[in-house]
Amino acid sequence: MSLLALLVAVSCTAGPAAKPLRYVALGASDSVGVGASDPTTKSWPALVAAAMPAGTVYTNLGVSGSTVAQAFTQQLPTAMTADPDVVTVWLAFNDLAHATAPATYKADLGRLLDGLLQTKARIFVGNLPDLRGVPATSGIVSALLAAAVDAYNAQIAAAVQERASRVVLVDLFTGSADVIARELVVSADGLHPNDLGYQRISQRFTDAFRREGIPLR
């Protein structure tokens, strides 16, 4: 068989390309990409979008400093009008920093998720990593910080489980202490991820996408 015939045969047997999707990211400064060398292209949502099918429409609604309650007002309306196929939500640190009661946080997160469920989207929700190795939290008693993170993550898991038909937990906690200790994943500000940190976060989300059958390149 000639080379040309072989190429034609391969092209005819290859499966169809995955169709473009509409992807919307809700979040705070981590979604904006604070700490990245180029927030527009190297934030974790931008890296996730780059792994999605060609032609995917990507909208990042992240607002630095946003809590879940603020995202409900500021980000949700635009997310709903975007008619998304896939939504990511990573909103917890600012609520924790403002000492929002875990039960209140869960109620606010539930309202946000219920709003997003009015769309057709599959929704992926990140939890908190182990913050004890992050330089900016070094002044907080380790046991207290660990307990606070555990309390928030329990509420995130519960809110997701209550909506499990279309909402998926993305586990950013498991193994995060080892990653933070072993790799330089925190930016110079001591709090936000750097480029490598955002790569690690995006990998957790794309791994969850694959498990749930979301097409990727």
- Give residue-wise pLDDT tens across range 48-70: 999 999 999 999 999 999 999 99
| Strand order, beta sheet including 122-126 | 57-60, 22-27, 86-90, 122-126, 167-170
Kindly state the average pLDDT of the residues 206-211. Answer: 98
Kindly state the average pLDDT of the residues 42-47. Answer: 98
Cβ neighbour number for residue 44 with a 10 Å cutoff: 29
Q: Quick one: residue 199, left, alpha or beta (phi over 0 = left, psi -120 to 50 = alpha)?
A: alpha
Signed CA dihedral, 21, 162, 154, 117: sign only: positive
For 20, the token pair is 């473009």
- Strands 57-60, 122-126: parallel, antiparallel or unpaired by DSSP? unpaired
pLDDT in tens, 151-175: 999 999 999 999 999 999 999 999 9
For the chain, which domains are there? Answer: 21-211 (3.40.50.1110)
| Dist. CA 196–CA 206, nearest whole Å | 15
What pLDDT does residue 1 have?
A: 54
Question: What are the φ and ψ backbone dihedral angles of 90, each rounded to 5 degrees?
Answer: -135, 95
What pLDDT does residue 178 have?
A: 94
Single pTM value for the model: 0.91
For 60, the token pair is 């990042």
Sorting pLDDT into bands at 50, 70 and 90, what band is 16?
A: low
| Dist. CA 196–CA 47, nearest whole Å | 11
Signed CA dihedral, 32, 37, 38, 41: sign only: negative
Signed CA dihedral, 205, 209, 215, 217: sign only: positive
| Dist. CA 156–CA 162, nearest whole Å | 10
What pLDDT does residue 18 have?
A: 80
